Amino acid sequence: MTDRQVGSEGLNVDLAVAVERRLAGGGIQIDFSPPSGPLAGNQLAGLGLNLDVVPTAQRRLGGGGLMVDYIPSTIPLNAVRWSNVAFEAGTSSPLVYWISPAFQVSGTKPVVWLTDHFGVAS
Amino acid sequence: MTRLLTTGYETGDVAEAGALVQGTGVVVSVVNTAPTPRAGAYCLKTTVNATTWTITTKGFNFGLKTEVWVRFAFLAHQLSSVEYMFAQMADSAGGAQCCLTFNPTDGLIRLYRGTGTTTLLATASASVAQDTWMVIDWRTQTLTTTTGASEVWVNGNRLINFSGDNTNTANVNVQTLLLGFLSGATNAGANGSYWAYDDIAVNDTAGTLNNGRAGDGRVILLLPNGAGSSTQFARGGTDTGANYSQVSEVPPSMAQYNASAVVGNRDLYAHQDLAVAVQAINSVEVVALAMNSDAGGGNLAPTLKSGATVAEATAVGLTSTAVYVGARWETDPATTAAWTVAGVNALEAGVTVR
C-alpha cells in the first residue's frame, strides 16, 4: 500500500508541470523550454488492445531416428548357398550343409567358402 | 505386442531414457569408449569418482506388472573386492522387491530379496568375467507376497532359477528397473569402478511377440539421411539446408530443428539402412527430441510410412522443454508380420502435428 501512495505523488508532480506551462503562456519567459516527453503535451497514462488470439505454437522436432532392436545373424557372411543353379554367397538362397558324403540343404553348421576352398562353420 | 521399453542410449544423450536419481560420488554418462559399447555407438556408464558415494541410479518405469523379462548388457569394472548391487526391481510404490549383485572375488551374480545383501535367494551356478560384456535376461514373476519366480540368464545360459518369495514389499508387482549404484558406501579402493549397461529392453508375457526372454538383441539407431515423401515442416534454428539434416545430429539438440504449427502437417525422412547381418528384428521405434515453441499445449504423433501404409502413433503432449518422445512398432504396419531387413530399410519415419 505504501508503494501505491508514492505512485499517486508522481501524478502530483505532473500537475506542477502544468503550472509551468501557464507561465510560458504569459510571455514572461519567451525562451522557456517545456519539459520533454509526455509531460509536454496531453498525457496518456496507458493504452492497450485487448485481443483474443489463437497462438501459432510450433511443434519443434530437434532430432531423432529409428531405434531398432535386432538379433544378429548367426549365419557366417561367407556361408555357401544353393540357388538351384550354382553355389553363391551373400544371397537369400538356402544354405548348404555338408553331411558326408554329400552336400545337403539342411543341417546345423553351414558350409562356408574360405577364399579358395570349402569349409564348415564353427 | 509386449515390448515395454527399449533403449541403448544410441542418441548419445543420457536423457534419452530413464529417470535419474543423482547422488554424490557417482557420475552417470553416455559414452562411446571405455568401455566400447556392446552394440551401436553408445552405452550407459555409471562411474564412482570418489571414495564415498550415495545411491545413483537410472530408473526405467515400464508400468505395473506381475511378470516381466528384463534384458540388458552389463559390463562390470570393479576395482574393489566388495559385492555391490547393479540392478534392482522396484514395486509400484518404489520399494525394492529384489536385486542382483556382482561379487568380484568369486565372479558370481547373486539374487537377493529387498535391497542390499541381507536375504540371499540364489547364487549363479557359474561365474562371469569382469570387463567383458554379458547379456543378462532377468525374469521376475510375482504371484503372492510369499511366492514367485526369478530367473537370471547370462549369455543365453540360465544361471539362476529360483522359486519362492521374491517380493520384499506388500505389493505383489514390479514396475521399475533400476540400474546403477544402488547403495551408498565408503570404499577408497572402489574409486574409479564403473558399471556399464547397453541394449536395455523390457518385455512382459502377453501377446505373441516379445513375450519372454529377449535374448541376444542389440539396439541401434538409424539416423535420417534423406527426404521422405512428406516435407511440411519449416526449418528453424541453424539451417543445415534440408529438413532431414536438421534432425540427424547426434546427440540431438534444438539448435537446429523442423517446426510446424499446422495440425496435420507431417515431416517424414528416409533413414540409414541396417548395416549388420540380422536374424530377427524385435522392435522398431521412432525416437524424437521435441518441444513446443511456447507454454501452450501441442502434440506430435510419431509416424512411420512402410510401403504405402502410414502408421501414426498416439500423439504425445509436448511442453516448452525438449524431451524425448517416441512410439514402438513390433510388427511392420504394412504387413502386420514381423519386421524384415528390407522392410526397415525402406521405412520413412517422422512426426505429424496433432
pTM of the predicted structure, to 2 decimals? 0.84
Q: Partners of B7 in the beta sheet?
A: B200
Could you tell me if B210 and B66 are in contact, meaning their C-beta atoms sit under 8 angstroms apart? no
Is B236–A64 a contact, with Cβ atoms under 8 angstroms apart? no
DSSP three-state, residue B69: strand
Closest CA to B44 of B23, B20, B68: B20
Which residues in chain B are contacts of A62 at CB distance < 8 A? 246-247, 252-257, 289-291, 322
Q: Chain A residues within 8 A (CB-CB) of chain B? A: 55-75, 77
Question: pLDDT tens digits for B49-93?
Answer: 999 999 999 999 999 999 999 999 999 999 999 999 999 999 999
Q: How far apart are CA A119 and CA B107, in angstroms?
A: 37
Stretch 25-84 of chain B: residues touching chain A, C-beta under 8 Å: none
SS3 of B162-197: EECCCCCCCCCCEEEEEEEECCCEECHHHCCCEEEE
- Residue B249's pLDDT is 96
Greater model confidence, A16 or B266: B266
Closest chain B C-alpha to A116 CA, distance in angstroms: 23
Per-residue pLDDT 10s for chain B (354 aa) are 599 999 999 999 999 999 999 999 999 999 999 999 999 999 999 999 999 999 999 999 999 999 999 999 999 999 999 999 999 999 999 999 999 999 999 999 999 999 989 999 999 999 999 999 999 999 999 999 999 999 999 999 999 999 999 999 999 999 999 999 999 999 999 999 999 999 999 999 999 999 999 989 999 999 999 999 999 999 999 999 999 999 999 999 999 999 999 999 999 999 999 988 899 999 999 999 999 999 888 999 999 999 999 999 999 999 999 999 999 999 999 999 999 999 999 999 999 999
| Bridge partners, B163 (sequence order) | B149
Asked if B350 is an interface residue toward chain A (Cβ–Cβ < 8 A), one would say: yes
Instruction: Give me the residue label for grid cell 541394449.
Output: B199
CB contacts under 8 A, B 276-315 vs A, are: 276-294, 296-300
DSSP state of A100: T
Phi, psi values for residue B8, rounded to 5° = -130, 10
Q: Are the C-beta atoms of B162 and B16 separated by less than 8 Å? A: no
Q: What is the mean pLDDT of residues A43-66?
A: 84
B221/A67 touch (CB, cutoff 8 Å), yes or no = yes
- Separation between Cα atoms, residue B239 and residue B247, nearest integer Å: 11
Asked if B11 lies within 8 A of A63 by C-beta distance, the reply is yes
Is the pLDDT assigned to residue A20 strictly greater than 70? Answer: no
Reported as type and span, the H/E element at residue B29 is strand B26-31
- The predicted pLDDT at position A10 comes to 42
Tell me the ipTM for this assembly: 0.94
pLDDT at A30 exceeding the cut of 50? no
Q: What is the pLDDT of residue B284?
A: 97
3-class DSSP state of A24: helix
| Partner residue facing B285 (CB), from A58, A63, A67 | A67
CB-CB contact of B258 with B246 (8 Å): yes
pLDDT tens sequence across B198-211: 999 999 999 999 99
Question: Contact A70/B282, CB-based, under 8 Å?
Answer: yes
**B276 with A72: Cβ contact below 8 A:** yes
CB B287 within 8 A of CB B328: no
Residue of B199, B244, B292, B345 best to disrupt the A interface, most CBs of A under 10 A: B292
Q: Which helix (H) or strand (E) holds B155?
A: none
Q: Does B114 touch chain A (CB under 8 A)?
A: no
Assess contact for B126 and B171: CB atoms under 8 A: no
As a whole number of angstroms, the distance between CA B320 and CA B290 comes to: 9
β pairing state of B194-203 and B67-77: antiparallel
Distance from CA of A48 to the nearest CA of B (A): 23
b vs e for B10-38, b when ≥16 Cβ sit within 10 Å of the residue's Cβ? bbbbbebbbeebeeebbebebbeeebebb
Distance set, CA B69 to CA B51, B85, B327 (Å): 34, 19, 20
Give chain A positions within 8 Å (CB) of B294.
55, 57
Nearest CA in chain A to B215: A71
Interchain proximity B293–A57, CB inside 8 Å: yes
The answer to whether B252 faces chain A, any CB pair under 8 Å, is yes
Listed in sequence order, the residues at least 6 apart from B43 whose beta carbon sits closer than 8 Å to its beta carbon are: B8, B9, B30, B31, B32, B35, B37, B73, B75, B196, B197, B198
B267 contact residues in A (CB cutoff 8 A): 61
